[in-house]
């Protein structure tokens, strides 16, 4: 079964990025000159996704507009003979079909995903990508999950990454039976366990393949941690009803919803850019000399 739709929740308040997010959606903050959400949508498209369902809230209109055509700008660039930019702008407007649904109250990630229900057909599985998590990898992380899902009877698959034992309390951590070096048959997910209580050191950044049954569960579960409807709670119930797997993806993840993760991603992307690499290294070296000690 081919997975062609992705739900990307972008309705959160982005409090960790205030004051910028007082007025700007966090997802539109650029890593160098490219908004972080562009990278997330590109990962989905490169994985074979044909339709994106953005779960948005008031003030997030610029995300939709970014992926729409902008004929006025196109005409301006055409007249100015700036054909490279024109091509770039047109391509963004034609990247993928976008649909938006509103989450009127920010009641948690589980609630946000539930808002995407109307866009998913019966029996269809779909991807979920968090709009403020970047993954840099050769094969898109979502594609890696899709392949595991296809090989495992179209089951739900949760992306995981190894974290240092002392950091388990920052993440959702999975438990389960090890099937191979990268795959677990999940029994449960534990929210932010202390290192001594953590069943593994496999943490869940924001990438999922989910069966449509998750919506029934999201409608049933009570509010969880922080008074929010947690996707983790719904996945735990799903794991008691159907096979759910976790997969340690190949790639590096950046939590660009936090200032430190954003800084890390910006430095990484500068060093990966052939035109910026030597400049970035020079200024980093100069700053190291100036500020060290």
Residues lying near ligand UTP in the complex (CB under 6 A) are found at 9-16, 26, 55, 103, 106-109, 111-112, 130-132, 257
Q: Tell me if 109 sits within 8 A of 132, measured CB to CB.
A: no
Min dist. Cβ of residue 292 to ligand UTP (A): 31
Residue nearest ligand UTP, Cβ-based: 12
> In terms of CB distance, is 133 or 201 closer to ligand UTP?
133
Between 101 and 280, CB nearer to ligand UTP: 101
Residue 114 CA to residue 148 CA, distance in Å, equals 24
Q: What is the distance between the alpha carbons of residues 107 and 232, in angstroms, rounded to a whole number?
A: 14
Q: Is 155 helix (H, G, I), strand (E, B) or coil?
A: coil
Nearest-10 crossing angle of helices 213-220, 231-241: 120
Residues belonging to the chain: 293
The minimum distance between CB 2 and ligand UTP, in angstroms, equals 25
| Shortest CB 205 distance to ligand UTP, Å | 10
d(CA 257, CA 83): 33
Minimum Å distance from CB 11 to ligand UTP? 3
Instruction: Report the relative pairing of strands 156-162 and 172-178 from DSSP bridges.
Output: unpaired
| Nearer to ligand UTP among residue 82 and residue 104 (C-beta) | 104
CA of residue 109 relative to chain centroid, distance: 12
183 vs 232, which CB is nearer to ligand UTP? Answer: 232
Q: Tokens 């990966």 — which residue?
A: 272
Nearer Cβ to ligand UTP (8/186): 8
CB 238, min distance to ligand UTP, A: 18
How far is the CA of 155 from the CAs of 79, 185, 226, in angstroms?
51, 10, 29
* Nearest approach, Cβ of residue 275 and ligand UTP (Å): 30
Nearer to ligand UTP among residue 35 and residue 108 (C-beta): 108
């Amino acid at each position: 079964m081919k997975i062609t739709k992705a739900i990307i929740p972008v309705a959160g308040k982005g409090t960790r990025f205030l004051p910028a997010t007082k007025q700007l959606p966090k997802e539109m903050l650029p890593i160098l000159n490219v908004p972080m959400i562009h990278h997330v949508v590109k990962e989905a498209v490169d994985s074979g996704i044909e339709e994106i369902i953005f779960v948005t809230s008031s003030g997030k209109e610029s995300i939709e507009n970014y992926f729409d055509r902008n004929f006025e700008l196109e005409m301006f660039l055409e007249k100015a003979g700036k054909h490279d930019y024109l091509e770039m702008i047109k391509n963004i407007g034609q990247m993928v079909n976008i649909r938006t649904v509103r989450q009127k109250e920010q009641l948690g990630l589980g609630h946000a995903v539930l808002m995407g229900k109307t866009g998913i057909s019966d029996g269809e599985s779909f991807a979920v990508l968090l709009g403020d998590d970047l993954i840099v990898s050769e094969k898109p992380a979502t594609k890696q999950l899709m392949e595991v899902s296809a090989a495992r009877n179209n089951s739900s698959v949760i992306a995981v990454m190894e974290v240092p034992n002392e950091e388990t309390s920052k993440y959702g951590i999975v438990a389960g039976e090890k099937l191979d070096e990268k795959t677990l048959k999940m029994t449960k997910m534990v929210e932010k366990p202390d290192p001594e209580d953590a069943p593994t050191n496999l943490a869940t950044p924001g990438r999922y393949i989910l069966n449509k049954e998750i919506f029934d569960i999201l409608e049933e579960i009570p509010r969880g941690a922080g008074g929010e409807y947690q996707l983790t709670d719904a996945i735990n119930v799903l794991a008691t009803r159907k096979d759910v797997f976790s997969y340690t993806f190949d790639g590096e993840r950046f939590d660009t919803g936090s200032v430190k993760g954003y800084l890390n991603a910006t430095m990484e992307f500068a060093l990966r850019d052939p035109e910026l690499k030597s400049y970035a290294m020079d200024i980093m070296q100069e700053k190291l000399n100036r500020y060290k000690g």
